[in-house]
């Protein structure tokens, strides 16, 4: 079975398991886990922020950020199919009392004019727009990466309006690779950044929230409240450090394989949008199929893909456990299935 549903399905490698086994650990909640502290420092440097807090998931990192930057009744601007809106179980409303102000997008990005239009303006009757959340790369839009100029203009507008910016950079390293810039370049101008370890980096779980030093104690308090404080989390942090040493440059392999899959399928007319990172969006309506039927047919042929919250769209995602031969196999299966 070739599993292209998402990049979270990877198994820890032998090297990562060895790093986990030899990790030096302590009680993280008490600030006594040296390996977690090392990972937090390393990621803060990588993202150009003063500090970082290790948490169990990118979902929690996003939710902590919202609670830092907004008060109940405030609104959060994000692309309409951002993970924050579609896949965090209503966390912004349930956990932080926030309203969502979605912006419809094609590629997951929006500009300063769209942001301005989404900002609530008026008197006491309007919710205060407190945060804009930027997802980069954007998963449901097909792993698309914000153009730097568009990002910078949008950030300048947010700063001018006194709106905090959270970067959901679960796949920021994919975005940085595609743009050929350091991750800190993309993170510059954001107040907080989520970086996920369990996607292209191949860790079993874990994420970091990078942020200003002054916000760390509040972030740790919210983390505790959400049940995210850990004990001997060095076993997970060791996996993260290993991934930063061994799994960053290889993200290029995932990007090439996604492009190769798109190339195999190019003639079918079902590849939607540009492939920029490790995601290929497949438009089943364009070939007169429904996504559910095609998904089941492909599964029966040994290729797993997943649905995204866009009508008729499926996605195929490359990752650490997918090789060149797997892509050739999957591409040929998809091409054959849709013509049969």
Ligand X SMILES: Cc1ncc(COP(=O)(O)O)c(C=O)c1O
Tell me whether residue 195 or residue 271 sits nearer to ligand X (CB atom): 195
Q: What is the DSSP string of 106-122?
A: SSS---HHHHHHHS--S
Per-residue x/- mask for ligand X, residues 250 to 279, rule CB under 6 A? ------------------------------
Tell me whether residue 140 or residue 157 sits nearer to ligand X (CB atom): 140
CA distance 111 to 176: 19
Residue 208 exposed, middle or buried by CB count within 10 Å (0-12, 13-18, 19+): buried
Which listed residue (28, 135, 191, 254) binds ligand X by CB under 6 A? 135
Residues 56-95 close enough to bind ligand X by CB under 6 A: 57-59, 62, 83
Least distance in angstroms from the C-beta of 82 to ligand X: 7
Least distance in angstroms from the C-beta of 122 to ligand X: 31
Copy the structure tokens of residue 18.
Answer: 């060895």
CA distance 145 to 154: 14
DSSP letter at 214?
Answer: G
Q: With CB under 6 A as the contact rule, which of the stretches 36-44, 53-61, 180-188, 274-282 interacts with ligand X?
A: 53-61
Tell me whether residue 264 or residue 317 sits nearer to ligand X (CB atom): 317
Binding of ligand X by 144 (CB under 6 A): no
Tell me whether residue 83 or residue 310 sits nearer to ligand X (CB atom): 83
Residue 191 sits at φ, ψ, to 5 deg, of -75, -35
DSSP 3-state of 318: coil
Which listed residue (36, 105, 139, 259) binds ligand X by CB under 6 A? 139
Q: With CB under 6 A as the contact rule, which of the stretches 52-60, 110-118, 231-239, 316-324 interacts with ligand X?
A: 52-60
Least distance in angstroms from the C-beta of 141 to ligand X: 10
Q: What is the DSSP string of 118-148?
A: HS--SSTTSPPEEEEEEESSBTTTTSB---H
Per-residue x/- mask for ligand X, residues 170 to 209, rule CB under 6 A? x-------------------------x-x--------x--
Sign of the CA dihedral with 280 first, then 303, 11, and 247 last: negative
Report the 10 Å Cβ neighbour count for 61. Answer: 31
Least distance in angstroms from the C-beta of 135 to ligand X: 5
CA distance 66 to 58: 13
Binding stretches for ligand X (CB under 6 A): 57-59, 62, 83, 135, 139, 168, 170, 196, 198, 207
């Amino acid at each position: 079975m070739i599993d292209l549903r998402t990049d979270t399905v990877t198994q820890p490698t032998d090297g990562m398991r060895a790093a986990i086994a030899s990790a030096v650990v302590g009680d993280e909640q008490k600030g006594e886990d040296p390996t977690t502290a090392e990972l937090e420092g390393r990621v803060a440097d990588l993202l150009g922020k003063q500090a970082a807090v290790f948490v169990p998931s990118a979902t929690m990192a996003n939710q902590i950020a919202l609670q830092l930057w907004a008060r109940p009744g405030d609104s959060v601007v994000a692309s309409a199919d951002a993970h924050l809106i579609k896949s965090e179980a209503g966390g912004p409303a349930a956990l932080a009392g926030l309203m969502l102000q979605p912006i419809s997008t094609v590629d997951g990005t929006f500009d300063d004019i769209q942001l301005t239009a989404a900002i609530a303006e008026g008197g006491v009757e309007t919710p205060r727009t407190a945060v804009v959340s930027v997802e980069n790369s954007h998963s449901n839009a097909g792993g698309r990466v914000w153009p730097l100029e568009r990002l910078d203009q949008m950030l300048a507008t947010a700063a001018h309006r006194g709106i905090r910016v959270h970067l959901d950079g679960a796949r920021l390293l994919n975005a940085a690779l595609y743009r050929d810039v350091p991750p800190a370049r993309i993170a510059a101008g954001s107040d907080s950044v989520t970086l996920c370890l369990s996607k292209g980096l191949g860790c079993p779980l874990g994420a970091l929230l990078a942020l200003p030093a002054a916000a760390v104690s509040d972030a740790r308090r919210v983390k505790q409240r959400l049940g995210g404080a850990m004990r001997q989390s060095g076993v997970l942090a060791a996996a993260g450090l290993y991934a930063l040493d061994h799994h960053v440059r290889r993200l290029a392999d995932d990007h090439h394989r996604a492009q190769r899959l798109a190339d195999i399928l190019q003639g079918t007319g079902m590849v939607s949008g540009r492939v920029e990172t490790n995601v290929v969006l497949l438009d089943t309506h364009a070939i007169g199929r429904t996504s559910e039927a095609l998904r089941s047919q492909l599964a029966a042929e040994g290729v797993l893909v997943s649905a995204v919250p866009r009508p008729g769209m499926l996605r195929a995602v490359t990752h650490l456990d997918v090789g060149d031969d797997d892509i050739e196999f999957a591409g040929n299966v998809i091409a054959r299935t849709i013509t049969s």
